[in-house]
A and B are shown apart, each in its own frame.
Chain A
Amino acid sequence: MRRVRNAFSTLSAVVVKEMKIMSRYPGFLFMVAAIPFMFGGMIMGIGYAVAGPSAFANFAANTGVGNPLLYTTLGGVLMIGSMLLVENTAGIIREEQMMGTFELHYLTPNSTMLLWLFHSLSTSLLTLMIMAVDVAAVLAWQGSLLSPAEWLVAALVTLLGLLPLAGIGLAVAALTVRFKEVWAIANVVSSFIALLSGFYYPLEVFPAAVRLISQALPTSHAAQILRSVMSEGLSAARLQLWERIALMAALGAAYLLLGRALYSRWEDEARSRGELSKY
C-alpha cells in the first residue's frame, strides 16, 4: 500500500513539475497545438495543387475518407505526439545530465526507470490535451460532437498508442547517450515512426512487407482506431476495436520491456564507468 502511495506521490510530482515547466513556454504550447493544422493544410494544399478541384473526391474515392480535415488533424496530433514522446524520452537522460538533476533523481527512493516513464506519461497527457483542443475545434466547426464514451476511447487509444514509444525512447537513450548523439538518432527513429504509422495516408499505399512492419507500431493501430471512432462513431468501429487495443497493449508491454532491459543495463554500466552525470 505504501509503495503504491509513494508511486502516486512520484507520479504527481513529475506531472505537476512538467506541466508547470510547459506552461512557462507558451510559445512551445502554441506551436504543438498549431502544427497539426499547419501540416494538414499543407497536405491538403499539395493535394489540391496536384489534382485540382477533384482532389477531395479523389482522396475519398481512394481512401474512403470523407472528412480530410479531421483525418489530417488527427494524423497531425498523433505525429507530433509520437515525435515529442520519442524525443523527450530519449533525450531526458541527456537533458537531466546537462542540468545536473540526473544523479539527484538517482539518489531519491524511486526507480529511475519509473521516473522517466512518468515523464513520458506527462508528454502523453500533453498530447491528449492538444488532441482535445484541436479535434474539438475541428468537430465544433463541422457541427458534430463526440459522445463522452467516444472521447474516453479516444483518450485510451491515444495513450496506448503513444506510451509504448517511451520504451523505444528509453532504448534509444540507453544505446546512444554515451556517444552524446541522442537527438540525432531519436529524430531518425521518430521520422520512421511518422512514415510507417500512416498519419497522413492509409497504410494500404505501402507494399505488403512495409505494411507488416507498420503493424508492429502501436501508432499505426491508434491512428486507424481514432479515425474510425471519430468519423464513424464507436458502434461502427467496435468490431476491430478491442482486437486492436489488445494488440497495442501487447506491443506496449514488449517495447517497455525492451526499453527497461536496455536502460537498466546502461545505468549499471554508467554507475561503474562514472557516466551517470557525464555532460
Chain B
Amino acid sequence: MLQPIKAVNLVKAFTTREGGQLLRGRRRVVEALRGVSFEVRKGGVFGLLGPNGAGKTTTIKILSTLLLPDAGDAWVMGYHVVREAAKVREVIGVSLYSDRGFYWKLSGRENLAYFARLYHLDSKYAKERIRYLLKLLDLEEDADRLVEEYSTGMKSKLNIARALLHDPPVLFLDEPTIGLDPNSARKVREVILDLKREGKTVLLTTHNMFEADMVCDRVAIISKGQIVAVGAPSELKAKVAEHKAIEVSLVGYSESIEESLRNTPGVLGVATRLRDPVAGVADLKVVYDSDLSLREALSKLLASNAKVLSVKSVEPTLEEVFVVMTGERLEEG
C-alpha cells in the first residue's frame, strides 16, 4: 500500500560561518540529518518530537521540496521529493512559521485571497473556501483586520488556513503551537484532530510532549539528526512504564553533579534544564529503575556542593522516553 509520506535514510549537512567582522568568519559543517527514515500512514498524524536543532525543520523542508537532501530518498503521495518536486508541491500544504509568512499591510482575508489566486483556485470556490477556513480557525471576526494587528496565535492559525487553501491531502506543520497562548494552542490542536477525521495525513514537528501525546498516532523521537525511537505514544511510554522518575530543583548546579548522577548504577538518564546559569539554578530530571538507585542518586546529590530545593516524583511521559533515549530534555526552559 502506498504510504503518503516515506523517508529513507535522509542525510543533510550545512556549512555555517562563525564569527568574522568584515569577512565571513570560519566555516563549520553541521550535520543536521544523519540517516532519517520513517513512514507515515494515510490519515495519520505523525509527530517529529525533539528539541531545537534536532533536525525536525530540516526534515519537513526536504519533504516539502524546499531543501535538497545530500543523500537518501523521500516520497510524498508516491512522488519523489527531488525528481518530482512540482508534483509533490501540488499535494502538500505547508505551515512553516507561527508568526511570519504574511503581508502585514493586507488583511487576513486578503492574504488568503492572494495565495488562493497563486494556487489558481476558481474565484467563487476560493471565496467559499476562505470563508470556511476562517470559520474553522475562529478567525472570522478578525478576517478583515490587517495582519500587522494580529496576535501570534491569530497569525499561527492564519498560517494553517493558508496551508489548507487548496485542500491538500498531506499537511506539514512545523511547530504549529509554538509561542501560542493556551486557548490558541488548544484550537490548533482541535483543528489538527479535525483534519485527521477528514482523512488528511499530517506530519507535525513539536517539542511539546503533551501535544505529541494528544494529537499524534505515531511519534518519532529525533535527536541530533537521528531518529532514536518510533511508535505510538502509548508504545513509547510502555518502554519506560517500569521506570520511575524524579525532578530535582537545585542551586549550585555543575556538570560534575550531572555526570556523577549519570554514572549511578540503575540511573537510566539524566537531563538538565538550566533556569539561571549565573546562579546555577537548575531542574534535573532523573530516570531510574529501582529504589536502590534512587537512594544512591539522592545521597550523591546531598553530598555535592549544590543546595537541593525540592525533589518530586513524576509520572512517566514521553519526556521520560526522551531522556532515556537521548539524555536530553525535550522542552525548553
Q: What is the number of contacts between chain A and chain B, taking CB atoms within 8 Å?
A: 83
A107 B66 Cβ-Cβ under 8 A: yes
0/1 string, A110-147, CB within 8 A of B gives 1: 10000100000000000000000000000000000000
Q: A106 touching B117 by the CB < 8 A rule?
A: no
Give CA–CA (A109, B94) in the complex, Å: 14
| A115 CA / B68 CA spacing, docked (Å) | 22
Residue count of chain B within 8 Å CB distance of chain A: 33
Cβ A17 vs Cβ B103 within 8 A: yes
CB-CB under 8 A from A105, the residues of chain B are: 118
Contact for B105 among A5, A9, A24, A104, CB less than 8 A: A24
CB contacts under 8 Å to A, within B83-111, are 86, 89-90, 92, 94, 96-97, 100-106, 110
B120 within 8 A of A: yes
Q: B61 contacts the other chain (Cβ, under 8 Å)?
A: yes
Q: Are B96 and A103 touching (Cβ within 8 A)?
A: yes
Task: Indicate if the CB atoms of A101 and B101 lie closer than 8 Å.
Answer: yes
Please tell me if the beta carbons of B119 and A103 are within 8 angstroms of each other in the complex.
Answer: no
Which single member of B61, B89, B102 contacts A101 (CB below 8 Å)?
B102
Task: Name A274's contact: one of B61, B90, B100, B146 (CB within 8 Å).
Answer: B61
| Closest B residue by C-beta to A2 | B120
Residues of A within 8 A of B67 (CB): 271-272, 274, 276
Q: Is A272 within 8 A of B68, CB to CB?
A: yes
Complex Cα distance, B126 from A13, in Å, reads 13
Q: Is A108 an interface residue when CB atoms closer than 8 A count as contact?
A: yes
Chain B residue with Cβ nearest A6: B120
Do the beta carbons of A99 and B100 come within 8 Å of each other? yes
Tell yes or no: B114 within 8 A of A by CB: yes
Chain A contacts of B14 at CB under 8 A? 273-274
Give the interface centre of A16, A271, A274 by most chain B CB atoms within 10 Å. Answer: A274
In the complex, chain B residues whose CB is within 8 Å of the CB of A108:
89, 115, 118-119
Chain B neighbourhood of A109, CB < 8 A: 86, 89-90, 119-120
Q: Which of A20, A104, A107, A277 contacts B110 (CB 8 A)?
A: A20
Across the interface, do A17 and B114 meet the contact criterion of CB distance under 8 Å?
yes
Residues of B within 8 A of A5 (CB): 120
Among residues of B, the one whose C-beta sits closest to the C-beta of A276 is B66
Q: Which of A74-117 contact B (CB under 8 A)?
A: 99-101, 103-110, 115
Which B residues touch A110, using CB under 8 A?
118
Decide if B58 is an interface residue (CB 8 Å cutoff): yes
State the interface size on chain A (CB cutoff 8 A): 30
CB distance A274 to B118 under 8 Å?
no
A20 with B106: CB separation less than 8 A: yes
- Give Cα A100–Cα B111 distance, bound, in whole angstroms: 13
Task: Tell me whether B64 and A107 are in contact (CB under 8 A).
Answer: yes
**Any A CB within 8 A of the CB of B15:** yes
Q: Is B162 an interface residue (CB 8 A)?
A: yes
Measured CA separation A277–B12 after assembly (Å): 16
A30 CB within 8 Å of chain B: no
Tell me which residues across on chain B come within 8 A of A21, comparing CB atoms. 103, 105-106
- Give Cα A272–Cα B61 distance, bound, in whole angstroms: 11
How far does the alpha carbon of A10 sit from the alpha carbon of B64 in the complex, in Å? 21
Q: Are A274 and B58 within 8 A (Cβ)?
A: yes
- For the complex, give the distance between the alpha carbons of A103 and B60 in Å: 13
Q: Enumerate chain A residues within 8 angstroms of B110, measured Cβ to Cβ.
A: 17, 20
Give every chain A residue within 8 A of B90 (Cβ-Cβ): 109
Contact yes or no, B106 A17, CB < 8 A: yes
Mark out the residues of chain A between 9 and 35 whose CB falls within 8 Å of any chain B CB in the assembled complex. 9-10, 12-13, 16-17, 20-21, 24-25
How many Å lie between the Cα of A21 and that of B90 in the bound state?
28
Complex Cα gap A13–B119 (Å): 10
- Using CB atoms, name the residue of chain A closest to B85: A271
Inside 8 A of B61's CB, which chain A residues have their CB? Answer: 274
Q: How far is the CA of A108 from the CA of B67 in the complex (A)?
A: 15
A-B contact list, 23 entries, CB within 8 Å = A5-B120, A9-B117, A13-B118, A17-B103, A17-B114, A20-B110, A99-B100, A99-B102, A99-B103, A100-B96, A100-B100, A101-B101, A103-B66, A104-B162, A105-B118, A107-B66, A108-B119, A109-B86, A109-B119, A115-B118, A271-B66, A273-B15, A274-B14
Point out residues on B near A: beta carbons under 8 Å: 12, 14-15, 58, 61, 64-68, 86, 89-90, 92, 94, 96-97, 100-106, 110, 114-115, 117-120, 146, 162
Tell me the A residues contacting B by CB distance below 8 Å.
Answer: 5-6, 9-10, 12-13, 16-17, 20-21, 24-25, 99-101, 103-110, 115, 271-274, 276-277
